Amino acid sequence: MSNRGAGTRACRAETHLGACGRQQHRSASARVPAPRLLAGLFLTLAAFGQDAPPSNEPLFRAMRDELARSRQLSIPNLESPYYIEYGIDEQETFSAAASLGGLLSQKRERFRTPFIFVRVGDYKFDNSNFGGGRGSAYDLEAFPIENSYPVLRRYLWLETDSAYKGAVEAISRKRAANRNVNQNDRIDDFAHAEPLHFIRDFKPLVVDESSWANRIRSLSGIFTKFPEIQESSVDLEVTEGGHYLENSEGTEVKTPESVTMVRARASAQAPDGSTVRDFAFFHALDPKAMVDEADMTREVTTMAQNLVAMAHAPKGEDYNGPVLFEGQASAQLFAQILGENLTLVRRPEGGRGAGAPPGDLDGRVGARVLPESFDVVDDPSLKEYKGKTLFGGYEIDREGVPAKRLQIVEKGIFKNFLLTRQPVKGYEGSNGRARYPAGGGTSAAGISNLIVTSSETVPAGEMKKKLLDLLQSRNKPYGIIIRKLDFPSTASLEEARRVASAQQGAAHPVSVPLLIYKVYADGHEELVRGVQFHGLTARSLRDILMAGDDAAELDFMDSPAPFDLIGLSNFTMEASVVAPSVLIDELELRPTDDEQPKLPLVPAPEISH
């Protein structure tokens, strides 16, 4: 019905409920939730293993009973399922958004999103990883939120039926497509995993709606004091919920997830018309642990001041030389050039789609990727680091595999990728890193708490001096210090595309830096804007000259989207990156190719108070 301007008009009572009926409801519930996993609960050994009694919750009973019955699914001459999985994300959210002291929206929602997958064939060769499959054959709308056993059974019954029919169709197409392909080095389609029983209750959403609404309203009002700032908004999301998983191997998992986040973003126009942007994001696992209002106000005000300074700053020039990444910027750098390269993507079979280009670290296990003094671990079990709460912990991944500490880099040598139950070349068997649904019954891996440390450090306060020394020895007029990157990015989709295409060929392009300072021999700094990296990849990490003795923590919602672009991926997960400041030799920066719309003809309206 949204065939706008194509000359086709339609009137259907059934589908044309417009803003008045189910349509709205659908848009709310069709949204894939952004589950977040919660660390901080005690893991008892008794929770593991098969001995624990099955959960008596109606949802688990319905999943268990329908799953057992669905093993009998068959169509004459076609195989029965060898594996069935019911994954259900549940989310209760209070969200609100405000701009310049006025609320734009305020909403409370609660919904479940099912991920139902049936595998036919066997672990070696099944229907997965082949095309997108197909949607539901039945008009089921949202997954029931009330725990009525018969209604839950019905939903699962019809969705399993639909998934099974899709599976037998897909495997026959996959077999046909594979007939023309050399199968010598074929890897399995699905890795075995131990059954697991792990049940933790979700927390109820307790939120003081009006006080939160007041807080974001007043935070958004800060921007009224900065007339040069054009667009600005502050949004809030408080979510409780979690993930249910039941599979035919006997795994039964319920893991709670909670997160609170406040995101302030703003943009302004430089005199040449280019847009400058900045943001201040705040995350917490528990709303009560959130940064208090006074600190938020201070940080948002600083961000607004920085943004105005950026709008007045000169555009940067071509640069080749050492770059110092301070604190947060270093964590943002590692999140991208290391974090995003830790997954291996399996190419879809049957010549469908080229798949993702190989990552910077593909084939480099055992090779040196960082200076010898560096160690990196991904540790979902870690609750805090140097007294600060970490944001990316979890116990069990989306596929029901327990997650343990994983050494990523040891003494500069690359050790491990993040793996799910989808085998990839050279690796079979999950290490519990399935964090995102990835279509076709597969999951995508992602980092949890990525901790970067160095055994050889210099005091962080002396890093700038080290940079100046280096400039002097190289006879360079100035060096570059970067204090903030645009990550997770608040760019528009168009801008993100421009930035990515300027780094042509990079499997994981790096977002633009926001706070960029030229630093001169006498130590004075000059803010510049509008430059981006060229050729900055995971390989650049080998050129790290020194690391600080500091450890900046970046908490963020990670996603498979490029630059973790806000709003591009519906499915995001908590992650933390901790890293020291680093000085990297010989990086290249180039001016960005910006759109330069004219400044508004009409001056901004005056602020009324």
The residues in 146-205 that bind other proteins, with binding defined as CB under 8 A, are: 146, 148-151, 153-154, 156-158, 161, 164-165
Going by DSSP bridges, is the β-strand pair 319-325/582-591 parallel, antiparallel, or unpaired?
antiparallel
Minimum Å gap between C-beta 594 and other proteins is 16
- Interacting span for other proteins (CB under 8 A) from 109-117, 277-285, 309-317, 424-432: 109-117
Pick between residue 61 and residue 352 the one whose CB is nearest to other proteins: 61
- Interacting span for other proteins (CB under 8 A) from 20-28, 32-40, 310-318, 417-425: 20-28
Minimum Å gap between C-beta 161 and other proteins is 5
Tokens read off for 392: 């990316």
Do residues 463 and 324 make contact, with C-beta atoms less than 8 angstroms apart? yes
Give backbone dihedrals phi and psi of 529, rounded to 5 degrees, phi first. Answer: -135, 170
The answer to the question of residue 68 lying near other proteins (CB under 8 A) is: yes
Minimum Å gap between C-beta 162 and other proteins is 8
The answer to the question of residue 277 lying near other proteins (CB under 8 A) is: no
CA-to-CA dists, residue 572 to 195, 435, 575, angstroms: 26, 9, 9
Among 43, 52, 142, 507, binds other proteins (CB under 8 A): 142
- Interacting span for other proteins (CB under 8 A) from 97-105, 182-190, 234-242, 566-574: 97-105
Q: Which residues, other chains included, contact 431 with Cβ-Cβ below 8 Å and sequence gap of 6+?
A: 401, 403, 404, 406, 416, 418, 419
Among 43, 100, 177, 199, binds other proteins (CB under 8 A): 100
- Interacting span for other proteins (CB under 8 A) from 3-11, 323-331, 551-559, 562-570: 3-11
- Interacting span for other proteins (CB under 8 A) from 216-224, 467-475, 507-515, 557-565: 216-224
Pick between residue 426 and residue 597 the one whose CB is nearest to other proteins: 597
Minimum Å gap between C-beta 282 and other proteins is 22
Minimum Å gap between C-beta 257 and other proteins is 18
Cα–Cα distance for residue pair 497/491, rounded to 1 Å: 9
Q: What is the DSSP string of 115-130?
A: EEEEEEB-SSSBS-SS
- The kind and range of the H/E element at 213 are helix 209-221
Among 101, 133, 314, 439, binds other proteins (CB under 8 A): 101
The answer to the question of residue 502 lying near other proteins (CB under 8 A) is: no
- Interacting span for other proteins (CB under 8 A) from 99-107, 334-342, 453-461, 522-530: 99-107
Do residues 466 and 546 make contact, with C-beta atoms less than 8 angstroms apart? yes
The answer to the question of residue 113 lying near other proteins (CB under 8 A) is: no
Do residues 523 and 468 make contact, with C-beta atoms less than 8 angstroms apart? yes
Three-state secondary-structure class, residue 438:
coil
Among 30, 49, 74, 192, binds other proteins (CB under 8 A): 74
Among 99, 416, 422, 430, binds other proteins (CB under 8 A): 99
Among 30, 145, 289, 367, binds other proteins (CB under 8 A): 145
Among 41, 52, 140, 187, binds other proteins (CB under 8 A): 140
Minimum Å gap between C-beta 53 and other proteins is 12
Minimum Å gap between C-beta 147 and other proteins is 9
Residues 542-601 touching other proteins, rule: CB under 8 A, are 597-598, 600-601
Among 52, 106, 407, 561, binds other proteins (CB under 8 A): 106
Going by DSSP bridges, is the β-strand pair 457-458/544-548 parallel, antiparallel, or unpaired?
parallel
Cα–Cα distance for residue pair 487/392, rounded to 1 Å: 16
Minimum Å gap between C-beta 5 and other proteins is 5
Q: Which residues, other chains included, contact 114 with Cβ-Cβ below 8 Å and sequence gap of 6+?
A: 86, 87, 88, 143, 155, 159
Give backbone dihedrals phi and psi of 322, rounded to 5 degrees, phi first. Answer: -70, 145
Tokens read off for 385: 């680091």
Give backbone dihedrals phi and psi of 576, rounded to 5 degrees, phi first. Answer: -130, 145
> How far does Cα 418 stand from its chain's mean position?
14
- The neighbouring-strand residues paired with 582 are 325, 547
Cα–Cα distance for residue pair 253/398, rounded to 1 Å: 9
Do residues 574 and 335 make contact, with C-beta atoms less than 8 angstroms apart? no
Sign of torsion over alpha carbons 480, 482, 488, 494: negative
Among 57, 79, 109, 549, binds other proteins (CB under 8 A): 109
Minimum Å gap between C-beta 407 and other proteins is 38
